[in-house]
Amino acid sequence: MITTRWWWVRHAPSASSPGIIHGQDDVDADLSDQAAIDARRHSLPEDAVWLTSGLNRAVQTAAALGGTECRVVPGLMEQNFGEWNGKAWDTMDKAEARAFWEDYTTEAPPGGESVVHLMDRVSDAVAELSHEYQGQDIIAVAHAGSIRSAVAMALNLFAKSALSIQIDNLSLTRIDCLYDEESGPSWRVMGLNL
């Protein structure tokens, strides 16, 4: 049995006003909580492969945690909210927002992707990377949506159930991919929001 260990870290808080839809909007991270960053850095393994989504808040958080050589993996980006990226929730067209929230798992914002599409995209990336880096530690600095999607994949959850999972800024979520020659990959969730 070969174990590949995923160390998921949600980026530091976004350095912008609350209530903004960031999704794939490229905003900076607020790295002012040095104690939290130091604590998270000391909980991560040495000699790991470092991955980020490529969005500033993930790249900056990874650098603050010691990930100086990170591979950018667009498949780990947050949900694409399309035309809503960068807008405030309270300025949205009410009918458009209501249609989205009535079935937010399969409904996509204008020009964006649904939660189901996000989960498929992240699951594909995680499966490929687990194979590529088999038997290694992988530190992935990403987003609530991408981490939630990885947990849902590991637990075989439906999209609506996955949205019940809270992922805090700078939290650690551990998932292991267990590979067996005969049965293929299986998953084990080691901890959420550690």
pLDDT of residue 177: 95
CATH class of domain segment(s) 2-191: alpha beta
Amino acid occupying residue 76: L
Bridge partners of 191, per DSSP, are: 174
The rounded mean pLDDT for the chain is 91
Q: Is the confidence at residue 171, as pLDDT, over 80?
A: yes
Q: How far apart are alpha carbons 41 and 36 in whole angstroms?
A: 9
Q: Is the confidence at residue 189, as pLDDT, over 90?
A: yes
Q: Is the confidence at residue 169, as pLDDT, over 90?
A: yes
Stated length of the chain: 194
Q: Which of 13, 4, 66, 72 shows the shortest CA–CA distance to 39?
A: 66
| Of 117 and 180, more confident | 117
**Residue boundaries of the structural domains of the chain:** 2-191
Q: How far apart are alpha carbons 27 and 188 in whole angstroms?
A: 32
Burial degree of 140 (CB within 10 A; 0-12, 13-18, 19+): buried
pLDDT of residue 184: 80
Q: How far apart are alpha carbons 152 and 192 in whole angstroms?
A: 12
Pairing of strands 70-72, 49-52: parallel
- Note the pLDDT tens digit of each residue in 14-45: 987 777 888 887 889 999 999 999 999 999 99
